[in-house]
Amino acid sequence: MGKSAPAAPDPVQTINQQTASNRETAISQAGLNMVNQNTPQGSLSYNQIGTWSDGTPRFEATQALSSAGQQLQTTNEGTAQNLAGLANEQSGRLGSLLNAPIDFGQQKDYLEGLTSGALDKRWNTLGQQNETDLINRGIRPGSSQYDNLKNQFMVSQSDAYNSANVANYNTALQSQMALRQAPINEILALSGQSQVQSPQFSSTPQTSVAGTDVGGIVQNGYNNQMAQYNSQQKGLGGLFDAGLGLAKLWP
């Protein structure tokens, strides 16, 4: 009798073998990718810190600054701490600064005093010149033409004083607003500079080599065994048929 047909591969065993192969491939690839680095600014090293529950190696990445870089880092951290402390101290003044009323009346009065003195001299001169011009043109006081021209002159003079007063008002207001905002902006700037910076981490190396196709290898081996078995069975069938033919010829 011929041999029995080869048994089909156990799928559970094949899956376990494939999983184990993939795991070993991943571990090997990770080990190849995790290359320690050294630069003038610092270093990056990988160290195994144990294993996961399934026995897979567990690693950590450690970054270290150079001696000069570490000194600068310590200095920067000290500076940031000083700024944070100063910002915390000065922030206590924000309430009083914001609640204080804006008083620009004294500065406005001072500016108007300067402007009025200059405008008085100018318009006194212009008034005398205007009066002389009217007389030279034969326009006498009491006439309607004289009154109209004098009114126009006075309107121009009033507009000039009003424009100057508005400009003084805006200048005094902007000046006091700037004085009020300066310490507030300084405190806010200190608060922004003292913010904690998020640490920067190196990217984790990724495996890229495909695992061994254990399932395919097992299946191909089984297919080869079946092909060989079928070939043997075909050969035995031919011999059996030949024997029957000889038996029929035997008297």
Question: pLDDT at position 194, please?
Answer: 57
For residue 235, pLDDT over 70 is answered with no
Residue located via tokens 């006091």: 176
Tokens linked to 184:
């507030």
pLDDT-derived band at 79, boundaries 50, 70, 90:
confident
For residue 49, pLDDT over 90 is answered with yes
Render pLDDT for 107-159 as a digit per residue (tens, 0 to 9): 888 888 888 888 888 888 998 898 888 888 888 888 889 888 889 988 998 88
- Give me the percent of the chain exceeding a pLDDT of 70: 81
Tokens linked to 126:
């212009």
Q: Which residue has the higher pLDDT, 243 or 226?
A: 226
CA 173 to chain centre: 39
CA distance 133 to 127: 10
Residues 210-231: what's their mean pLDDT?
A: 70
Task: Tell me phi and psi for residue 46, to 5 degrees.
Answer: -110, 135
Rg (CA), the chain: 50
Q: What is the mean pLDDT of the chain?
A: 79
Contact call for residues 31 and 48 (beta carbons, < 8 A): no
User: Of 113, 107, 101, which Cα lies nearest the Cα of 169?
Assistant: 107
* Cβ neighbours for 186, distance < 8 A, ≥ 6 positions apart: 90
CA distance 142 to 149: 12
Render pLDDT for 2-17 as a digit per residue (tens, 0 to 9): 567 777 777 778 777 8
Contact call for residues 59 and 49 (beta carbons, < 8 A): yes
Question: pLDDT at position 189, please?
Answer: 79
For residue 223, pLDDT over 80 is answered with no
Contact call for residues 56 and 207 (beta carbons, < 8 A): no
CA distance 159 to 138: 27
User: Of 96, 106, 114, which Cα lies nearest the Cα of 176?
Assistant: 106
